[in-house]
């Protein structure tokens, strides 16, 4: 199952993006090693992805992805949840403050590249149709943080012979659900372990995420050029 055609409808445009003459800005949110972040960094540096990473945010101070970003000269921020819990604050408070943090960088897209928190509307309302999530499973299969292990267990029970990767938009608080932008199947092989299956899935993730982001950006830029052309015709 694969969906290489990615369409961003004109109604999904955000107002500050329209008629932009500089590369669109990405805010990348991570919780771990940042291998998908590195794929994005590499794609930007080689010109495969015509965008700029404005900031990388992690909810974990030890996340190696922060070091990857710093090595690439990208601003980083650490935004932990624990102080909010210790102070008895709501999750919405954390999300609202994260949205305010990102507002400083005016991102056009928010990319969840291994981000391990579920957002409330206190964050989601600021980026409608502009939050992109990567998940190591196909639509409707194996949601949550243990998707690879769940797929492997299902294979061992004879229930499936493959898993996959999807990139989708995040419109609401559902876990690993939303309008699907792209998918790719990853076969499960006899004798696979978590590590061997994860390695193949991660390789697909790196490629599919970058390809999808590049198409999103290209589609949006094309729409903006058409909008600009129409505006000039009606002057």
Answer yes or no: 135 catalytic: yes
Unique residue bearing structure tokens 């999807």 = 166
Strand residues in the chain grouped as ranges (E): 25-30, 52-58, 76-78, 109-112, 131-135, 162-169, 180-187
* Dist. CA 61–CA 59, nearest whole Å: 7
Tokens of 45: 């540096």
Distances (CA, A) of 147 to 81, 120, 125, 178: 23, 22, 27, 17
- Residue among 16, 79, 126, 135 flagged as catalytic: 135
* C-beta of residue 26 within 8 angstroms of C-beta of residue 209: no
Look up residue 92 and give its two tokens.
């919405």
Q: Which residue's structure tokens are 């790719």?
A: 184
Strand order of the β-sheet with 52-58 is 76-78, 52-58, 25-30, 109-112, 131-135, 162-169, 180-187
The set of catalytic residues is 135
């Amino acid at each position: 199952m694969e969906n290489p055609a990615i369409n961003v409808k004109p109604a999904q445009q955000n107002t500050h993006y329209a008629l932009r003459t500089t590369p669109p800005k990405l805010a990348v949110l991570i919780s771990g090693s940042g291998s998908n972040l590195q794929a994005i960094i590499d794609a930007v540096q080689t010109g495969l992805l015509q965008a700029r990473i404005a900031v990388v945010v992690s909810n974990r101070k030890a996340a190696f992805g922060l070091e990857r970003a710093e090595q690439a000269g990208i601003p980083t921020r650490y935004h932990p949840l624990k102080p909010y819990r210790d102070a008895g604050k709501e999750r919405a408070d954390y999300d609202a403050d994260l949205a305010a943090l990102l507002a400083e960088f005016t991102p056009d897209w928010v990319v969840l590249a291994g981000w391990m928190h579920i957002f409330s509307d206190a964050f989601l309302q600021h980026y409608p149709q502009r939050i992109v999530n990567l998940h190591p499973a196909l639509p409707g299969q194996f949601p949550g943080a243990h998707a690879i292990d769940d797929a492997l267990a299902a294979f061992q029970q004879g229930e499936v012979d493959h898993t996959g990767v999807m990139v989708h938009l995040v419109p609401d608080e559902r876990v690993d659900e939303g309008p699907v932008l792209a998918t790719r199947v990853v076969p499960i092989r006899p004798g696979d372990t978590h590590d061997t299956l994860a390695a193949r899935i991660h390789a697909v993730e790196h490629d599919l995420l970058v390809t999808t982001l590049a198409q999103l950006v290209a589609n949006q830029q094309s729409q903006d050029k058409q909008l600009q052309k129409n505006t000039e015709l009606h002057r």
